Structure 1
């Protein structure tokens, strides 16, 4: 029982592209040193300012497929022509050390994690509206028009899955969304209590 209490917790934060998952996670990390953010692997090209090993592990298609073949990923999915996945070993090590591990991943990956870690806490981030989601995606200025249209089509499906997850948080105002996620995590283990 004592050893079980020392174990950390896996928290999955998911939702459509552009909903603000990354911003919420970065704010949580800045406020709480006991959080370990799992760094995902991807085959997409880095965006300006992104750092290999910090934002993502940027891999070739061949490198990524080798990780799949060697069962080195907790979850993976193909999204908009690129692969995304979570390296398994760092997540397991951090949970065993008693840390909160947050995975910021797409919906299909979050579904896979439920199979691997059934006790993971899964939080779905929702936009205030589909129109606001489109505004945020366009405001990024990082995607072509065809990529934005694909992301919006994918978002409609993803939004329809939100009730599969343990909690839903609407990211209408960033501070409120962060406070809601903190409250959910605190309720589970009391991690953020002094």
Structure 2
């Protein structure tokens, strides 16, 4: 029985008939870079390092949509029962731990919030309070920490829901945060 590959070899050889072989001593694998390319590479590397510093636990310090200092916040992930959310809003789920972010920069607040939520979940807390303040100290000052906390809590792993606290616990300057319990 004849091997079918023999025909392929013959077809290839006849197709290559008349083609001359070009011989190289060595391929030029060096990429020529200008000083501006090297500078851009260093710039991109530095920017990537700085970008890593701006994101912790998926929380960025990039610009967020600002909320008013007196605005009531309310958020619930899908699956949170309306009855549970109502109890949280009324302050009927007692909070077990608290974090006060007064006086922190945005970066410090992000780090503290991330650590606090992680520790609270590790300690099996069901509900915590986060005091972010209202930024009423100056007319021109906006509620920056409140705005960031509003976005960060939506992204933090294990946060089921949050809402503005009752007046006795800080009102629009604080949030009750309902946490998922790991089994």
Q: TM-score, normalised by structure 2?
A: 0.26
Higher helix share: 1
Higher strand share: 1
Structure showing greater radius of gyration is 2
Q: TM-score, normalised by structure 1?
A: 0.25
Which structure has more RCO (C-alpha within 8 Å, separation ≥ 6)?
A: 1
